[in-house]
Amino acid sequence: MPTKSSQPPERPARTRLRSSARRKELIAVAANLFASRGYYAVTVDDIGEAVGLTGPALYRHFSSKEALLVAVFDQVIEQLRDRFRELVSEAPDPATALLAIVRLHVEFAIEQCENVAVWRQEFQNLPETDRWRLRRAQRLYVEEWVHLVHELRPEFSDTEVRAAVHAAIGLLQSPSDFQSGLPTEAAVNLLMSMALAALEHASTTPLERAAAPG
Amino acid sequence: MTGLEGILQRQLEEIGQIARDVDDPGEALAAILRHHLAFTLEAGDRLAAWKQEFRNLPAEDAWHLRRMQRLYVEEWVNVVVRMRTDLSDGEARTAVHAIMALLQSAAARRSGLPPEEVAEVLCSMALAALRPEV
């Protein structure tokens, strides 16, 4: 790394470390509070209180509640992508991998339903650079799906697989829009079987032509 | 009456008509699906604007529209429970919401596939997702 003589004085390494640990802690706490109570109901003071910081002290790490929300989004989607890659690499074959990621996504949607709903509501209002970065992460996540599903449905074109994947993700994410009141496990099982059947039988042939008697 | 209300009202009437006229639940479901898809295709980018409009409505109007939305969902639920006797009412309602989210995915994200082909893919997926397990 090139050294510049006119570098601004750096903070001692230990302070930086502590500060980054604090940031992580704040993001984790905010993610939990947003997910359990909802973004709009949680105040910056609530988050500060949970980690023993006053409002002004918290603002040294994050300039606003919105900045914290963006950090939570970044983290949530990164964790989802990491877990996706883990599951796929652990799976012995693509069909088993699909089963695992279908479960991953529906459990994610149920656990993070508050944050997914806030994403939908607030995304357009976020600063442009944040939107681009989050969109990129989202795109890459969807492409991981496309890559896997294409292996299982090689007769499909890339765009057909992508349309089917968007639809399957939409289905799996429905709990963020509608709280059914079903026990979690029942909802997970139902949505998983629906998504798997949908992906297995996705077809580009019009039904009128594909319909067979019986 | 807002523009949105008129649209929902028409959708509700047309889907109610299908539910009353088509006796076989499988056929009724396919017809309802096609109808819903044709509507979303025709609406195209206006769907997003309506969603936004819905969010910004005064509470009373939103309440009114939500009632219509409920009735709309319930027409589907009624067809699905006839077809899927293995599902409880709550499961059928969850399934219908899931199918609506599936059908709306094309409006939210662009796959690059022509709209008519997207409609075929979505229709086949929705029917497969709701088909009774054998």
Q: What is the pLDDT of residues B12-50, one digit of tens each?
A: 999 999 999 999 999 999 999 999 988 887 877 777 777
| A201 → closest Cβ in B87, B95, B124 | B124
Average pLDDT of B109-126?
A: 87
| B121 → closest Cβ in A164, A187, A210 | A164
Residues of chain B contacting residue A212, judged by C-beta atoms under 8 Å apart: none
| B91 → closest Cβ in A177, A182, A198 | A182
A79 touches B at CB < 8 Å: no
Average pLDDT of A113-128?
A: 86
Residue with tokens 């970065």: A133
Å between A60 CA and nearest CA of chain B: 33
pLDDT value, residue A212: 43
- Residue pair A192/A168 in contact by the 8 Å Cβ criterion: no
| Structural domains of chain A, ranges and CATH numbers in brackets | 14-62 (1.10.10.60), 67-203 (1.10.357.10)
Angstrom distance (rounded) from CA B114 to CA B128: 21
Give me the interface pTM, i.e. the ipTM: 0.88
B58 touches A at CB < 8 Å: no
Judge: A169–B105 Cβ closer than 8 Å, yes or no. Answer: yes
Q: What is the pLDDT of residues B86-114, one digit of tens each?
A: 999 999 999 999 999 999 887 667 778 88
Angstrom distance (rounded) from CA B19 to CA B93: 16
Q: Which fold has domain B3-130?
A: Tetracycline Repressor; domain 2 (1.10.357)
The contacts of residue B74 (CB under 8 Å, 6+ apart) are none
DSSP string, chain B: --HHHHHHHHHHHHHHHHHHH--SHHHHHHHHHHHHHHHHHHHTTHHHHHHHHHHTS-HHHHHHHHHHHHHHHHHHHHHHHHH-TTS-HHHHHHHHHHHHHHHHHHHHS--SS-HHHHHHHHHHHHHHHHSPP-
Å between B74 CA and nearest CA of chain A: 13
| B98 → closest Cβ in A164, A171, A200 | A171
pLDDT value, residue B43: 78
Residues of chain B contacting residue A168, judged by C-beta atoms under 8 Å apart: 102, 125
pLDDT band of residue A15 (cuts 50, 70, 90) is low
Q: Above 60 in pLDDT, residue A7?
A: no
| A163 → closest Cβ in B101, B113, B133 | B113
Angstrom distance (rounded) from CA B60 to CA B46: 23
What share of chain A has pLDDT > 70, as a percent? 87
Angstrom distance (rounded) from CA B108 to CA B125: 17
State the amino acid at position B90 in one-letter form: G
Residue with tokens 């950090």: A71
Residue closest to A104 by CA, chosen among A83, A125, A85, A90 = A83
Which of B125, B130, B133 best probes binding to A when mutated, by most A CB atoms within 10 angstroms? B125
Which of B56, B120, B134 best probes binding to A when mutated, by most A CB atoms within 10 angstroms? B120
**Direct distance between the N- and C-terminal alpha carbons of chain B, in angstroms, rounded to an integer:** 46
Angstrom distance (rounded) from CA A101 to CA A85: 9
In A158-177, the residues whose Cβ lies within 8 Å of chain B are 159-160, 162-164, 166-175, 177
Å between B10 CA and nearest CA of chain A: 23
- Residue pair A173/A109 in contact by the 8 Å Cβ criterion: yes
